[in-house]
Chain A
Amino acid sequence: EDKVVQSPLSLVVHEGDTVTLNCSYEVTNFRSLLWYKQEKKAPTFLFMLTSSGIEKKSGRLSSILDKKELFSILNITATQTGDSAIYLCAVEGNTDKLIFGTGTRLQVFP
């Protein structure tokens, strides 16, 4: 059965800290891994990763995929209170469907 596991489930940090969010997966015929940020409403797209070892970067956020170890990390440097959200990892296999992990709830305090 396809599965996506995220850790930690919850994280509390102070502004300026760096955080690393983890996502491991098992999926048939992997196509891509996606990271989303969810605040009060629906998730917003952050990154899509398809190849191992190639870092995707957007401002203070970066992500990388390891297809051998079936693992991805999302890094956020110099965190700000506006980074407080749930970060969702999703994996796409041989169908159009996205399988979501449980999410990591990040809280950044001033």
Chain B
Amino acid sequence: GAVVSQHPSRVICKSGTSVKIECRSLDFQATTMFWYRQFPKKSLMLMATSNEGSKATYEQGVEKDKFLINHASLTLSTLTVTSAHPEDSSFYICSARDPSGAYNEQFFGPGTRLTVL
């Protein structure tokens, strides 16, 4: 199946700093990528839909100024957590849809665990 990578896999930062997470589709072009957040023992919560060349669409309750999304190319989307606080600590997962795939399903990256001290 298609491969989606995320970098970094784990990051620890101080409160108040900004953290950038990259999501790449390695062997296909993705016009749409999705960013999820997952708390321990909870399901995935969609944060936003990232559209190449246009603004991201945020889900209700997600602060767009806090979680900046940039989909600069057909293979790269970035999520920047600005002025991070301990409550932003979570597992962040991106996914990308492969339009040429057999099922047009979303492929997930391996996730980034963010810990804000």
Contacts and interface: CB of A to CB of B under 8 A. Distances in A.
B43 A41 contact: no
Contacts of A28: none
Interface stretch (B11-19, B61-69, B76-84, B108-116): B108-116
Interface residues of A, number: 19
Contacts of B41: 105
A96 B43 contact: no
Contacts of B97: 96
B108 A88 contact: no
Contacts of A98: 34, 46, 95, 106
A27 interface: no
Given A34-B105, A42-B110, A99-B46, 11 more contacts: A41-B110, A42-B95, A42-B108, A45-B105, A96-B32, A98-B34, A100-B44, A100-B46, A101-B43, A103-B42, A105-B41
A102 B45 CA distance: 10
A8 interface: no
Interface in A37-77: 41-45, 48
